Amino acid sequence: MSAPIALKCLRCGTLYATDHQGSGCTKCTGALASNLRVCYGPADVGRWNFRKADTALRGMQRFGDMLPVQSEHWVSLGEGDTPLHATTRLASYLGVEKLYIKDESSNPTNSHKDRVSAVAVAYAKQIGAPVVATASSGNAGASLAAYAARAGLPCVVASMKGAAGPMVAQIRKLGAHLILMEDKTLRWPLLAEAAQRYGWFITSPYSAPVVGSTPIGIEGYKTIAYEIYQDLGRVPDWLALPVCYGDALAGIHQGFLDLKITGQTDRVPRYIAAEAHGSLQRAMAANADQVDSLPAAYATLAASVGGPQSAYQALLALRQSNGIAIRIGNEGLVELQERVGAIEGLNFELASVMPFAAVRQLRNEGVIASGDLVVCLATASGLKDLDKSTSDWAEIPISSQPQEEVLEAAVAAVKRIALKFSNIEDETSPQMDLASSSNA
Ligand SMILES: Cc1ncc(COP(=O)(O)O)c(C=O)c1O
Ligand SMILES: [Zn+2]
Protein backbone atom coordinates (compact mmCIF):
# COMPACT_ATOMS: atom_id res chain seq x y z
CA MET A 1 0.00 0.00 0.00
CA SER A 2 1.02 3.59 -0.55
CA ALA A 3 -0.54 6.24 1.67
CA PRO A 4 -2.04 9.11 -0.34
CA ILE A 5 -0.57 12.41 0.83
CA ALA A 6 -2.88 14.70 -1.12
CA LEU A 7 -5.36 15.03 -3.94
CA LYS A 8 -4.20 17.33 -6.73
CA CYS A 9 -6.25 19.17 -9.34
CA LEU A 10 -5.38 17.94 -12.82
CA ARG A 11 -5.90 21.41 -14.23
CA CYS A 12 -4.58 23.98 -11.72
CA GLY A 13 -2.48 21.81 -9.43
CA THR A 14 -4.22 22.90 -6.21
CA LEU A 15 -3.62 20.38 -3.45
CA TYR A 16 -6.42 19.09 -1.25
CA ALA A 17 -6.44 16.91 1.85
CA THR A 18 -7.19 13.28 1.10
CA ASP A 19 -10.56 13.55 2.89
CA HIS A 20 -11.59 16.44 0.60
CA GLN A 21 -15.35 16.34 0.12
CA GLY A 22 -16.86 17.01 -3.26
CA SER A 23 -16.56 15.97 -6.85
CA GLY A 24 -13.53 17.79 -8.31
CA CYS A 25 -11.55 20.98 -7.71
CA THR A 26 -13.40 23.80 -5.98
CA LYS A 27 -11.31 26.43 -7.81
CA CYS A 28 -11.84 25.08 -11.32
CA THR A 29 -15.54 25.49 -11.81
CA GLY A 30 -18.16 25.70 -14.54
CA ALA A 31 -16.83 24.86 -17.98
CA LEU A 32 -13.30 24.56 -16.51
CA ALA A 33 -14.29 21.91 -13.95
CA SER A 34 -11.58 19.34 -13.31
CA ASN A 35 -11.06 16.13 -11.41
CA LEU A 36 -8.34 15.49 -8.84
CA ARG A 37 -5.76 12.75 -8.75
CA VAL A 38 -4.11 10.90 -5.90
CA CYS A 39 -0.54 11.91 -4.93
CA TYR A 40 1.89 9.71 -3.01
CA GLY A 41 5.09 10.57 -1.16
CA PRO A 42 8.49 10.11 -2.84
CA ALA A 43 9.48 7.40 -0.35
CA ASP A 44 6.47 5.26 -1.35
CA VAL A 45 6.98 5.89 -5.07
CA GLY A 46 10.65 5.00 -4.70
CA ARG A 47 9.65 1.54 -3.42
CA TRP A 48 7.28 0.70 -6.26
CA ASN A 49 8.20 -2.57 -7.87
CA PHE A 50 6.24 -3.44 -11.00
CA ARG A 51 7.98 -6.73 -11.61
CA LYS A 52 7.25 -8.23 -8.22
CA ALA A 53 6.68 -11.94 -8.75
CA ASP A 54 4.82 -12.53 -5.54
CA THR A 55 2.97 -15.74 -6.29
CA ALA A 56 0.94 -15.48 -3.08
CA LEU A 57 -0.90 -12.51 -4.54
CA ARG A 58 -3.21 -12.60 -7.51
CA GLY A 59 -4.86 -10.08 -9.81
CA MET A 60 -4.86 -6.45 -8.83
CA GLN A 61 -3.42 -7.21 -5.40
CA ARG A 62 -0.08 -7.88 -7.09
CA PHE A 63 0.04 -4.13 -7.56
CA GLY A 64 -1.03 -3.32 -4.02
CA ASP A 65 2.10 -1.21 -3.45
CA MET A 66 0.86 1.29 -6.02
CA LEU A 67 -2.68 1.49 -4.60
CA PRO A 68 -4.08 3.44 -1.63
CA VAL A 69 -5.40 0.39 0.21
CA GLN A 70 -3.98 -1.48 3.21
CA SER A 71 -3.78 -5.19 2.51
CA GLU A 72 -6.02 -6.10 5.49
CA HIS A 73 -8.85 -4.05 3.97
CA TRP A 74 -8.60 -5.49 0.48
CA VAL A 75 -11.93 -6.68 -0.93
CA SER A 76 -11.53 -9.26 -3.65
CA LEU A 77 -13.81 -11.15 -5.99
CA GLY A 78 -10.93 -12.14 -8.27
CA GLU A 79 -10.51 -8.91 -10.25
CA GLY A 80 -7.63 -8.10 -12.58
CA ASP A 81 -5.14 -10.28 -14.48
CA THR A 82 -7.54 -10.18 -17.41
CA PRO A 83 -6.41 -11.83 -20.65
CA LEU A 84 -4.58 -9.97 -23.38
CA HIS A 85 -5.71 -11.90 -26.45
CA ALA A 86 -3.50 -11.79 -29.54
CA THR A 87 -5.75 -11.83 -32.61
CA THR A 88 -5.04 -12.85 -36.17
CA ARG A 89 -8.42 -12.86 -37.95
CA LEU A 90 -9.67 -9.65 -36.36
CA ALA A 91 -6.25 -8.04 -36.86
CA SER A 92 -6.35 -8.81 -40.56
CA TYR A 93 -9.99 -7.66 -40.81
CA LEU A 94 -9.03 -4.31 -39.29
CA GLY A 95 -5.90 -4.12 -41.45
CA VAL A 96 -3.24 -4.20 -38.73
CA GLU A 97 -0.60 -6.85 -38.10
CA LYS A 98 -0.49 -6.71 -34.31
CA LEU A 99 -3.86 -6.37 -32.62
CA TYR A 100 -4.45 -7.37 -29.01
CA ILE A 101 -7.65 -7.30 -27.01
CA LYS A 102 -7.42 -6.53 -23.30
CA ASP A 103 -10.49 -8.44 -22.20
CA GLU A 104 -12.04 -6.77 -19.17
CA SER A 105 -15.21 -8.84 -19.50
CA SER A 106 -13.47 -11.53 -17.51
CA ASN A 107 -13.60 -9.44 -14.34
CA PRO A 108 -15.99 -10.72 -11.62
CA THR A 109 -19.03 -8.65 -12.68
CA ASN A 110 -17.93 -8.78 -16.32
CA SER A 111 -16.72 -5.21 -16.71
CA HIS A 112 -13.65 -3.07 -16.08
CA LYS A 113 -15.59 -1.19 -13.37
CA ASP A 114 -14.54 -3.91 -10.92
CA ARG A 115 -11.08 -2.33 -10.84
CA VAL A 116 -12.62 0.87 -9.49
CA SER A 117 -15.00 -0.86 -7.11
CA ALA A 118 -12.31 -3.08 -5.58
CA VAL A 119 -10.17 -0.07 -4.65
CA ALA A 120 -13.02 2.29 -3.73
CA VAL A 121 -14.83 -0.20 -1.49
CA ALA A 122 -11.64 -1.23 0.28
CA TYR A 123 -10.79 2.44 0.83
CA ALA A 124 -14.31 3.15 2.13
CA LYS A 125 -13.84 0.28 4.61
CA GLN A 126 -10.43 1.60 5.57
CA ILE A 127 -11.75 5.10 6.42
CA GLY A 128 -14.83 3.69 8.17
CA ALA A 129 -17.47 4.96 5.74
CA PRO A 130 -20.88 3.49 6.64
CA VAL A 131 -22.22 3.18 3.06
CA VAL A 132 -20.92 3.24 -0.51
CA ALA A 133 -23.07 4.84 -3.19
CA THR A 134 -22.97 5.63 -6.87
CA ALA A 135 -25.01 7.30 -9.57
CA SER A 136 -25.16 4.62 -12.25
CA SER A 137 -27.53 3.01 -14.65
CA GLY A 138 -25.33 0.10 -15.52
CA ASN A 139 -21.99 -1.55 -15.08
CA ALA A 140 -20.65 0.70 -12.30
CA GLY A 141 -23.75 0.09 -10.20
CA ALA A 142 -23.64 -3.69 -10.55
CA SER A 143 -19.94 -3.70 -9.81
CA LEU A 144 -20.19 -1.50 -6.72
CA ALA A 145 -23.12 -3.57 -5.43
CA ALA A 146 -21.02 -6.75 -5.71
CA TYR A 147 -17.94 -5.38 -3.95
CA ALA A 148 -20.00 -3.70 -1.24
CA ALA A 149 -21.77 -7.01 -0.56
CA ARG A 150 -18.42 -8.77 -0.41
CA ALA A 151 -17.17 -6.18 2.08
CA GLY A 152 -20.35 -6.29 4.16
CA LEU A 153 -21.07 -2.63 3.44
CA PRO A 154 -24.53 -1.37 2.41
CA CYS A 155 -24.67 -0.01 -1.13
CA VAL A 156 -27.02 2.55 -2.67
CA VAL A 157 -27.30 2.93 -6.43
CA ALA A 158 -29.07 6.03 -7.72
CA SER A 159 -30.31 5.25 -11.20
CA MET A 160 -32.94 6.76 -13.44
CA LYS A 161 -36.17 6.14 -15.21
CA GLY A 162 -35.54 4.18 -18.41
CA ALA A 163 -32.38 2.42 -17.18
CA ALA A 164 -31.93 -0.87 -19.08
CA GLY A 165 -33.82 -3.77 -17.46
CA PRO A 166 -30.93 -6.28 -17.44
CA MET A 167 -28.59 -3.71 -15.86
CA VAL A 168 -31.12 -2.87 -13.16
CA ALA A 169 -31.66 -6.58 -12.49
CA GLN A 170 -27.93 -7.10 -11.93
CA ILE A 171 -27.80 -4.24 -9.43
CA ARG A 172 -30.79 -5.58 -7.50
CA LYS A 173 -29.65 -9.19 -7.46
CA LEU A 174 -26.42 -8.04 -5.84
CA GLY A 175 -28.31 -6.59 -2.90
CA ALA A 176 -28.01 -2.84 -3.45
CA HIS A 177 -30.77 -0.39 -2.60
CA LEU A 178 -31.90 1.04 -5.93
CA ILE A 179 -33.31 4.54 -6.33
CA LEU A 180 -34.91 5.48 -9.66
CA MET A 181 -34.99 9.21 -10.38
CA GLU A 182 -37.03 10.98 -13.02
CA ASP A 183 -33.97 12.82 -14.38
CA LYS A 184 -30.36 11.66 -14.21
CA THR A 185 -29.02 14.99 -12.91
CA LEU A 186 -31.32 14.76 -9.88
CA ARG A 187 -29.15 11.92 -8.61
CA TRP A 188 -26.17 14.14 -7.90
CA PRO A 189 -27.61 16.56 -5.28
CA LEU A 190 -29.10 13.54 -3.54
CA LEU A 191 -25.72 11.83 -3.27
CA ALA A 192 -23.95 15.07 -2.32
CA GLU A 193 -26.40 15.49 0.55
CA ALA A 194 -25.89 11.89 1.70
CA ALA A 195 -22.10 12.36 1.65
CA GLN A 196 -22.32 15.50 3.72
CA ARG A 197 -25.01 14.41 6.12
CA TYR A 198 -24.19 10.73 6.63
CA GLY A 199 -20.61 10.32 5.46
CA TRP A 200 -21.48 7.98 2.58
CA PHE A 201 -18.52 7.32 0.29
CA ILE A 202 -19.62 8.28 -3.22
CA THR A 203 -17.71 6.53 -5.99
CA SER A 204 -19.29 8.18 -9.07
CA PRO A 205 -19.34 11.80 -10.16
CA TYR A 206 -21.96 13.76 -8.21
CA SER A 207 -21.95 17.29 -9.52
CA ALA A 208 -22.37 19.03 -12.84
CA PRO A 209 -20.52 19.49 -15.07
CA VAL A 210 -19.17 16.01 -14.53
CA VAL A 211 -15.45 15.80 -13.79
CA GLY A 212 -15.23 12.01 -13.39
CA SER A 213 -15.41 9.49 -10.57
CA THR A 214 -13.62 9.47 -7.23
CA PRO A 215 -9.84 9.72 -7.78
CA ILE A 216 -9.37 6.90 -5.24
CA GLY A 217 -11.35 4.51 -7.45
CA ILE A 218 -9.69 5.72 -10.65
CA GLU A 219 -6.40 4.49 -9.14
CA GLY A 220 -7.69 0.96 -9.79
CA TYR A 221 -7.50 1.55 -13.56
CA LYS A 222 -3.73 2.02 -13.32
CA THR A 223 -3.44 -1.75 -13.04
CA ILE A 224 -4.73 -2.13 -16.63
CA ALA A 225 -1.62 -0.26 -17.81
CA TYR A 226 0.68 -2.32 -15.57
CA GLU A 227 -0.79 -5.61 -16.83
CA ILE A 228 -0.60 -4.62 -20.51
CA TYR A 229 3.01 -3.54 -20.04
CA GLN A 230 3.91 -6.78 -18.28
CA ASP A 231 2.15 -9.00 -20.82
CA LEU A 232 3.60 -7.26 -23.88
CA GLY A 233 6.97 -6.43 -22.38
CA ARG A 234 6.59 -3.00 -23.95
CA VAL A 235 4.24 -0.05 -24.29
CA PRO A 236 1.81 -0.43 -27.22
CA ASP A 237 1.87 2.18 -29.98
CA TRP A 238 -1.89 2.71 -29.66
CA LEU A 239 -4.44 1.96 -26.99
CA ALA A 240 -8.04 2.32 -28.17
CA LEU A 241 -10.87 2.40 -25.64
CA PRO A 242 -14.52 3.49 -25.29
CA VAL A 243 -14.75 6.78 -23.44
CA CYS A 244 -17.56 8.56 -21.66
CA TYR A 245 -16.29 10.66 -18.73
CA GLY A 246 -12.80 9.31 -19.24
CA ASP A 247 -12.22 7.59 -15.87
CA ALA A 248 -10.60 4.58 -17.48
CA LEU A 249 -8.57 6.74 -19.85
CA ALA A 250 -7.32 8.96 -17.00
CA GLY A 251 -6.47 5.99 -14.77
CA ILE A 252 -4.73 3.98 -17.47
CA HIS A 253 -2.76 7.07 -18.47
CA GLN A 254 -1.69 7.53 -14.84
CA GLY A 255 -0.58 3.88 -14.84
CA PHE A 256 1.63 4.38 -17.87
CA LEU A 257 2.94 7.62 -16.32
CA ASP A 258 3.83 5.62 -13.18
CA LEU A 259 5.84 3.24 -15.37
CA LYS A 260 7.53 6.19 -17.00
CA ILE A 261 8.22 8.14 -13.81
CA THR A 262 9.84 5.10 -12.21
CA GLY A 263 12.04 4.55 -15.26
CA GLN A 264 10.44 1.35 -16.61
CA THR A 265 9.50 2.98 -19.92
CA ASP A 266 10.19 6.19 -21.74
CA ARG A 267 6.77 6.83 -23.23
CA VAL A 268 3.03 6.29 -22.98
CA PRO A 269 0.82 4.88 -25.77
CA ARG A 270 -1.15 7.17 -28.05
CA TYR A 271 -4.73 6.81 -26.84
CA ILE A 272 -7.70 6.54 -29.17
CA ALA A 273 -10.86 7.67 -27.40
CA ALA A 274 -13.89 6.15 -29.12
CA GLU A 275 -16.83 8.30 -28.06
CA ALA A 276 -20.51 8.32 -28.97
CA HIS A 277 -21.23 12.01 -29.41
CA GLY A 278 -17.95 13.74 -30.14
CA SER A 279 -17.39 16.26 -27.33
CA LEU A 280 -13.71 15.30 -27.05
CA GLN A 281 -13.24 15.29 -30.80
CA ARG A 282 -14.58 18.83 -30.94
CA ALA A 283 -12.42 20.04 -28.04
CA MET A 284 -9.33 18.50 -29.66
CA ALA A 285 -10.10 20.01 -33.07
CA ALA A 286 -10.69 23.45 -31.55
CA ASN A 287 -7.56 23.15 -29.40
CA ALA A 288 -9.89 24.06 -26.54
CA ASP A 289 -9.02 23.75 -22.89
CA GLN A 290 -12.47 22.58 -21.91
CA VAL A 291 -14.95 19.93 -23.00
CA ASP A 292 -18.33 21.41 -23.80
CA SER A 293 -21.53 19.43 -23.99
CA LEU A 294 -22.89 18.46 -27.37
CA PRO A 295 -26.55 17.85 -28.06
CA ALA A 296 -27.10 14.08 -28.03
CA ALA A 297 -27.90 13.96 -31.74
CA TYR A 298 -29.08 10.34 -31.70
CA ALA A 299 -29.87 7.55 -29.24
CA THR A 300 -26.70 5.52 -29.03
CA LEU A 301 -27.03 1.76 -28.94
CA ALA A 302 -23.83 1.78 -26.90
CA ALA A 303 -25.79 3.01 -23.90
CA SER A 304 -22.89 2.70 -21.44
CA VAL A 305 -21.11 5.61 -23.12
CA GLY A 306 -24.23 7.59 -24.02
CA GLY A 307 -23.36 10.83 -22.17
CA PRO A 308 -23.00 13.81 -24.53
CA GLN A 309 -20.14 15.44 -22.60
CA SER A 310 -16.79 13.99 -21.60
CA ALA A 311 -14.49 15.56 -19.02
CA TYR A 312 -11.20 17.44 -18.75
CA GLN A 313 -9.36 14.37 -17.39
CA ALA A 314 -9.93 12.65 -20.76
CA LEU A 315 -8.86 15.69 -22.77
CA LEU A 316 -5.65 15.97 -20.74
CA ALA A 317 -4.71 12.31 -21.32
CA LEU A 318 -5.30 12.72 -25.07
CA ARG A 319 -3.22 15.90 -25.18
CA GLN A 320 -0.35 14.45 -23.16
CA SER A 321 -0.20 11.34 -25.35
CA ASN A 322 -0.73 12.94 -28.76
CA GLY A 323 -3.94 10.94 -28.81
CA ILE A 324 -7.04 11.04 -30.95
CA ALA A 325 -10.76 11.29 -30.20
CA ILE A 326 -13.08 9.70 -32.73
CA ARG A 327 -16.85 9.63 -32.88
CA ILE A 328 -18.38 6.22 -33.44
CA GLY A 329 -22.10 6.09 -34.24
CA ASN A 330 -24.57 3.20 -34.32
CA GLU A 331 -23.98 2.31 -37.95
CA GLY A 332 -22.44 -1.14 -38.38
CA LEU A 333 -21.81 -1.52 -34.65
CA VAL A 334 -24.02 -4.56 -34.06
CA GLU A 335 -22.58 -6.24 -37.17
CA LEU A 336 -19.06 -5.58 -35.94
CA GLN A 337 -19.98 -6.95 -32.51
CA GLU A 338 -21.27 -10.13 -34.13
CA ARG A 339 -18.22 -10.41 -36.36
CA VAL A 340 -15.85 -10.20 -33.39
CA GLY A 341 -17.96 -12.88 -31.73
CA ALA A 342 -17.96 -15.06 -34.83
CA ILE A 343 -14.27 -14.85 -35.67
CA GLU A 344 -12.66 -14.52 -32.24
CA GLY A 345 -15.18 -16.18 -29.91
CA LEU A 346 -15.47 -13.04 -27.81
CA ASN A 347 -18.82 -11.42 -27.06
CA PHE A 348 -18.53 -7.78 -26.03
CA GLU A 349 -20.95 -5.04 -25.11
CA LEU A 350 -21.53 -2.52 -27.91
CA ALA A 351 -19.53 0.19 -26.12
CA SER A 352 -16.60 -2.22 -26.11
CA VAL A 353 -16.89 -2.74 -29.86
CA MET A 354 -16.37 0.98 -30.54
CA PRO A 355 -12.55 0.78 -30.25
CA PHE A 356 -12.48 -1.81 -33.06
CA ALA A 357 -14.55 0.50 -35.27
CA ALA A 358 -12.18 3.35 -34.39
CA VAL A 359 -9.10 1.32 -35.29
CA ARG A 360 -10.65 0.30 -38.58
CA GLN A 361 -11.40 3.91 -39.46
CA LEU A 362 -7.98 5.25 -38.43
CA ARG A 363 -6.24 2.43 -40.28
CA ASN A 364 -8.25 3.24 -43.41
CA GLU A 365 -7.25 6.88 -43.08
CA GLY A 366 -3.61 5.86 -42.77
CA VAL A 367 -3.27 7.31 -39.26
CA ILE A 368 -2.45 3.89 -37.82
CA ALA A 369 0.31 2.12 -39.77
CA SER A 370 -0.12 -1.57 -40.54
CA GLY A 371 2.91 -2.51 -38.43
CA ASP A 372 1.85 -0.55 -35.33
CA LEU A 373 1.11 -2.49 -32.17
CA VAL A 374 -2.49 -1.80 -31.21
CA VAL A 375 -4.34 -2.78 -28.03
CA CYS A 376 -8.13 -2.43 -27.86
CA LEU A 377 -9.68 -2.30 -24.42
CA ALA A 378 -12.89 -4.33 -24.38
CA THR A 379 -14.55 -2.97 -21.26
CA ALA A 380 -17.55 -5.27 -20.77
CA SER A 381 -19.21 -8.49 -21.81
CA GLY A 382 -21.96 -8.66 -24.43
CA LEU A 383 -24.09 -10.43 -21.84
CA LYS A 384 -24.38 -7.12 -19.98
CA ASP A 385 -26.67 -5.39 -22.46
CA LEU A 386 -28.74 -8.13 -24.02
CA ASP A 387 -31.55 -6.06 -25.35
CA LYS A 388 -34.02 -6.37 -28.18
CA SER A 389 -32.63 -3.27 -29.90
CA THR A 390 -29.18 -4.83 -30.11
CA SER A 391 -30.19 -8.28 -31.41
CA ASP A 392 -32.51 -9.63 -34.09
CA TRP A 393 -33.32 -13.12 -32.90
CA ALA A 394 -36.88 -12.78 -34.17
CA GLU A 395 -35.72 -13.35 -37.75
CA ILE A 396 -34.63 -16.96 -37.17
CA PRO A 397 -37.21 -19.30 -38.74
CA ILE A 398 -38.59 -22.09 -36.56
CA SER A 399 -38.25 -25.59 -38.07
CA SER A 400 -40.86 -28.17 -37.19
CA GLN A 401 -39.14 -31.19 -38.75
CA PRO A 402 -35.60 -32.25 -39.60
CA GLN A 403 -36.26 -31.66 -43.32
CA GLU A 404 -33.75 -31.61 -46.12
CA GLU A 405 -34.06 -27.80 -46.39
CA VAL A 406 -32.99 -27.32 -42.79
CA LEU A 407 -29.83 -29.33 -43.34
CA GLU A 408 -29.11 -27.59 -46.64
CA ALA A 409 -29.52 -24.18 -45.01
CA ALA A 410 -27.11 -25.26 -42.26
CA VAL A 411 -24.54 -26.39 -44.84
CA ALA A 412 -24.83 -23.01 -46.59
CA ALA A 413 -24.47 -21.20 -43.27
CA VAL A 414 -21.36 -23.21 -42.40
CA LYS A 415 -19.85 -22.04 -45.70
CA ARG A 416 -20.59 -18.44 -44.83
CA ILE A 417 -19.06 -18.84 -41.38
CA ALA A 418 -15.91 -20.36 -42.88
CA LEU A 419 -15.65 -17.47 -45.34
CA LYS A 420 -15.82 -15.05 -42.45
CA PHE A 421 -12.81 -16.76 -40.87
CA SER A 422 -10.76 -15.74 -43.88
CA ASN A 423 -12.33 -12.26 -44.00
CA ILE A 424 -14.00 -12.98 -47.33
CA GLU A 425 -17.53 -11.74 -47.79
CA ASP A 426 -20.15 -14.00 -49.30
CA GLU A 427 -22.60 -12.16 -51.55
CA THR A 428 -25.48 -14.24 -50.25
CA SER A 429 -24.61 -13.36 -46.66
CA PRO A 430 -27.07 -11.06 -44.91
CA GLN A 431 -24.15 -9.21 -43.24
CA MET A 432 -23.75 -5.52 -44.01
CA ASP A 433 -20.71 -4.49 -45.99
CA LEU A 434 -18.06 -4.14 -43.37
CA ALA A 435 -15.17 -5.15 -45.56
CA SER A 436 -14.14 -1.60 -46.27
CA SER A 437 -10.87 -1.95 -44.35
CA SER A 438 -7.84 -3.25 -46.17
CA ASN A 439 -4.14 -3.75 -45.69
CA ALA A 440 -3.43 -1.04 -48.25
C1 LIG B 1 -18.78 -0.89 -20.73
C2 LIG B 1 -18.29 0.50 -20.54
N3 LIG B 1 -17.30 0.95 -21.31
C4 LIG B 1 -16.82 2.20 -21.18
C5 LIG B 1 -17.33 3.09 -20.25
C6 LIG B 1 -16.74 4.47 -20.23
O7 LIG B 1 -16.35 4.91 -19.00
P8 LIG B 1 -15.43 6.16 -18.69
O9 LIG B 1 -16.27 7.05 -17.84
O10 LIG B 1 -14.30 5.59 -17.94
O11 LIG B 1 -15.00 6.85 -19.91
C12 LIG B 1 -18.37 2.66 -19.43
C13 LIG B 1 -18.96 3.60 -18.43
O14 LIG B 1 -19.97 3.45 -17.88
C15 LIG B 1 -18.86 1.34 -19.56
O16 LIG B 1 -19.85 0.87 -18.79
ZN1 LIG C 1 -8.27 23.24 -10.17
Whether residue 430 is preceded by a cis peptide bond, meaning omega within 30 degrees of 0, is no
d(CA 119, ligand 1 centre) in Å: 17
Q: Do residues 246 and 310 make contact, with C-beta atoms less than 8 angstroms apart?
A: yes
Long-range contacts of 157-160 (CB under 8 A, 24+ apart): 157/133, 158/133, 158/134, 158/187, 158/190, 158/191, 159/135, 159/187, 160/184, 160/186, 160/187
What separation in Å is there between the alpha carbon of 405 and the centre of ligand 1?
44
Ligand nearest to the CA of 33: 2
pLDDT at 402: 74
Select the CATH number that applies to the domain covering 84-110+217-389 from these four: 3.65.10.10, 3.40.50.1100, 3.40.50.300, 3.90.550.10: 3.40.50.1100
Instruction: Count the neighbouring beta carbons within 10 Å of the beta carbon of residue 174.
Output: 20
What type of residue is 32?
L
Question: Which is the closest atom of ligand 1 to the Cα of 247?
Answer: 10
Which residue minimizes the CA distance to atom 3 of ligand 1?
A: 379
How many angstroms is it from 105 CA to the middle of ligand 1?
12
To test the pocket of ligand 1, the residue of 244, 348, 381, 387 to mutate (highest count of ligand atoms within 8 Å of its CB) is 244
pTM: 0.94
Residues 6+ away with beta carbon under 8 Å from 341:
347, 348, 382
- CA 68 to ligand 2 center in whole angstroms: 22
Cβ atoms of residues 239 and 100 within 8 Å:
no
pLDDT at 439: 35
Question: How far is ligand 1, taken at its centre, from the CA of residue 264, in Å?
Answer: 28
Could you tell me if 301 and 330 are in contact, meaning their C-beta atoms sit under 8 angstroms apart? yes
Residue 213 CA, closest ligand 1 atom number: 9
Q: Sign (positive/negative) of CA torsion 428, 430, 432, 434?
A: negative
pLDDT at residue number 68: 97
User: Could you identify the atom of ligand 1 that is nearest to the CA of residue 242?
Assistant: 4
User: How far, in Å, CA of 53 to CA of 20, rounded?
Assistant: 35
How far, in Å, from the CA of 192 to the mean position of ligand 2? Answer: 19
Question: Which residues have C-beta atoms less than 6 Å from ligand 1?
Answer: 111, 138-140, 242-248, 304-305, 349, 351-352, 379-380
Pairing of strands 201-202, 324-327: unpaired
Are residues 2 and 68 in contact, defined by beta-carbon separation less than 8 angstroms? Answer: yes
pLDDT in tens, the chain (440 residues): 999 999 999 999 999 999 998 889 999 999 999 999 999 999 999 999 887 656 688 899 999 999 999 999 999 999 999 999 999 999 999 999 999 999 999 999 999 999 999 999 999 999 999 999 999 988 999 999 999 999 999 999 999 888 888 889 999 999 999 999 988 888 999 999 999 999 999 999 998 899 999 999 999 999 999 999 999 999 999 999 999 999 999 999 999 999 999 999 999 999 999 999 999 999 999 999 999 988 878 899 998 998 889 999 999 999 999 999 999 999 999 999 999 999 999 999 999 999 999 999 999 999 999 999 999 999 999 998 776 566 666 567 778 877 888 888 889 989 988 888 887 776 554 443 333 333 33
pLDDT at position 422: 85
- Domain boundaries of the chain, sorted by first residue: 84-110+217-389
Closest-approaching ligand to the CA atom of 274? 1
Identify which ligand lies nearest to the alpha carbon of 26: 2
pLDDT digits (tens, 9 = 90+) for 12-61: 999 999 999 888 999 999 999 999 999 999 999 999 988 765 668 889 99
Alpha carbon distance 47, 293 (integer Å): 41
What are the tens digits of pLDDT across the range 173-211?
999 999 999 888 889 999 999 999 999 999 999 988 999
Query: What b/e readout covers 149-173, taking b as 16+ CB neighbours within 10 angstroms?
Result: bbbebebbbbbbeebbeebbebbee
- Mutation test of ligand 1: which of 252, 305, 353, 376 has the most ligand atoms closer than 8 Å to its C-beta? 305
